[in-house]
Amino acid sequence: MKEQLKEIKQRGMNEIQKADSLKELEDLRVKYLGKKGEVTRILRGMGKLSKEERPIIGELANVVREEITNALSEAKERQEEIALEIQLKDEIIDITMPGVKKEVGVLHPLNQSVESLEEIFISMGFKVVEGPEIETVENNFDALNAPKNHPSRDLSDTFYITEDLVLRTQTSPVQIRVMKNAQPPIRVISPGRCFRNDTPDATHSPMFHQLEGLVIDENITLGDLKGTLDVFAKRFFGDDTKTKFRPHHFPFTEPSAEMDISCFKCGGIGCNICKGSGWIELLGAGMVHPNVLEYCGIDSEKYSGFAFGMGIDRITMAKHDIDDIRLFFENDRRFLKQFK
Ligand code: PHE
């Protein structure tokens, strides 16, 4: 019996030493000291021992129980400390560490322009409409009064998809779509992508953006055109902006003009932005040609109107003093970041 107790103690201590989790220690407690545990069993069996043996074995068994109990609680404490240490290490917060900066993106400068253009024209009663980027030759050229031999129709200028379909070279075909489907009064703007077979350089890109404007009603005059575009220029570029109209030619407007604005940087004295002239060329415009109205089923005796088309890329470059159109399409964040 003595030997057995010694052996139990030895084994118990060993196992407790080796245990490396609270769960294992609890299992060992049950194994040795639980109701059916090995030490408990010996203490229960004391009745069967002789009078002489009982106190000796009893004492020894009690000592073994105490030793195992102590060893268990020490080991338990150790395990709890280890667990706490692991937990503390896991949850450590180094308050000296630099924070992770969340970079907030910005609306692309071209989209910023479109937003402010829409705001300006909507406040003047215009509606925003869109047309497809793949357009019929009819809408892109024929209906717009472009002569059959007009150079802009050339393969070298226009991307043809089939004989009858092109990537639109301007937003003007949206005028046709609107006029074919609605009777005056009409007051719309239409921003969107356009495509021309140009070699990219600082001022050309095969894909660019235009914003078209169209107003058709009774008694619309060149004065309305000038007034509307003058308000637009002042709202977009600043109140001091002056506008100037130069005669020009477009097949679908008569008369036609190009509008310049006084240079917002030098105020007209001449600088690098206006290339010394004091003026910046901004857009094309004119009174809608009667042929175009009639083609779309609008009575050109009763109605008249004006149209304008501006390069969104161009006016954005002018506004922000950007000298290369390609910057808009490279999406270099160092460039885009400036437009916060
Ligand atoms: N579509 C013309 C261009 O691309 C611009 C324009 C639009 C001119 C409307 C007059 C009226 O150059």
* 263-291 per-position pLDDT tens digit: 877 888 888 878 899 998 999 999 999 99
Percentage above 70 pLDDT, the chain: 100
Ligand 1 mean position, distance from CA 254 (Å): 12
- What's the pLDDT tens digit per position in 82-115? 889 888 888 888 889 888 888 888 999 999 999 9
Q: Can you give the pLDDT at residue 39?
A: 86
Q: Can you give the pLDDT at residue 157?
A: 94
pLDDT at 256 over 80: yes
Which whole number is the average pLDDT over 199-211? 95
Percentage above 90 pLDDT, the chain: 62
pLDDT band per the 50, 70, 90 thresholds, residue 207 = very high
3-state secondary structure the chain: CHHHHHHHHHHHHHHHHHCCCHHHHHHHHHHHHCCCCHHHHHHHHHHHCCCCHHHHHHHHHHHHHHHHHHHHHHHHHHHHHHHHHHHHHHCCCCCCCCCCCCCCCCCCHHHHHHHHHHHHHHHCCCEECCCCCEEEHHHHHHCCCCCCCCHHHCCCCCCECCCCEEECCCCCHHHHHHHHHCCCCEEEEEEEEEECCCCCECCECCEEEEEEEEEEECCCCHHHHHHHHHHHHHHHHCCCCCEEEEEEEECCEEEEEEEEEECCCCCCCCCCCCCCCCEEEEEEEEEECHHHHHHCCCCCCCCEEEEEEEEHHHHHHHHHCCCCCCHHHHCCHHHHHHHC
Q: Can you give the pLDDT at residue 236?
A: 95
The reply to whether ligand 1 has any atom less than 6 angstroms from the CB of 250 is: yes
Between 82-91, 140-149, 249-258, the lowest mean confidence (pLDDT) is in: 82-91
Q: Which of 158, 210, 245, 291 to mutate to test the pocket of ligand 1 (most atoms within 8 A of CB)?
A: 210
Q: Using CA atoms, how far apart are residues 171 and 114, in angstroms rounded to an integer?
A: 14
Q: Using CA atoms, how far apart are residues 259 and 323, in angstroms rounded to an integer?
A: 20
Which whole number is the average pLDDT over 195-212? 96
The reply to whether ligand 1 has any atom less than 6 angstroms from the CB of 131 is: no
Q: Using CA atoms, how far apart are residues 191 and 112, in angstroms rounded to an integer?
A: 12
What is the atom index within ligand 1 of the atom nearest the CA of 169?
Answer: 4
What is the atom index within ligand 1 of the atom nearest the CA of 194?
Answer: 4
The reply to whether ligand 1 has any atom less than 6 angstroms from the CB of 12 is: no
Domain boundaries, the chain: 2-90, 109-339
Q: Can you give the pLDDT at residue 97?
A: 87
Q: Using CA atoms, how far apart are residues 6 and 9, in angstroms rounded to an integer?
A: 5
The reply to whether ligand 1 has any atom less than 6 angstroms from the CB of 172 is: yes
Q: Can you give the pLDDT at residue 325?
A: 95
The reply to whether ligand 1 has any atom less than 6 angstroms from the CB of 306 is: no
The reply to whether ligand 1 has any atom less than 6 angstroms from the CB of 158 is: no
Task: Lay out the sheet containing 279-288: strands in order across.
Answer: 127-128, 186-195, 207-217, 304-311, 279-288, 253-262, 243-250
The reply to whether ligand 1 has any atom less than 6 angstroms from the CB of 308 is: yes
Q: Using CA atoms, how far apart are residues 186 and 180, in angstroms rounded to an integer?
A: 11
Full-model pTM: 0.72
Ligand 1 mean position, distance from CA 251 (Å): 9
pLDDT at 162 over 80: yes
Q: Using CA atoms, how far apart are residues 143 and 139, in angstroms rounded to an integer?
A: 5
Q: What is the average pLDDT score of the chain?
A: 93
pLDDT at 53 over 90: no
Which whole number is the average pLDDT over 296-317? 96
For residues 58 and 116, the model is more confident at: 116
Residue 246: name the closest of 279, 269, 270 by CA: 279
Q: Can you give the pLDDT at residue 271?
A: 86
Which whole number is the average pLDDT over 16-43? 88
pLDDT band per the 50, 70, 90 thresholds, residue 208 = very high
Ligand 1 mean position, distance from CA 336 (Å): 28
Superfamily name and number for 109-339: Bira Bifunctional Protein; Domain 2 (3.30.930.10)
How large is the angle between the packed helices 312-320 and 222-237, nearest 10 degrees?
A: 40
User: 51-55, 148-152, 300-304: which has the highest mean pLDDT?
Assistant: 300-304
Between 48-57, 282-291, 296-305, 315-324, the lowest mean confidence (pLDDT) is in: 48-57
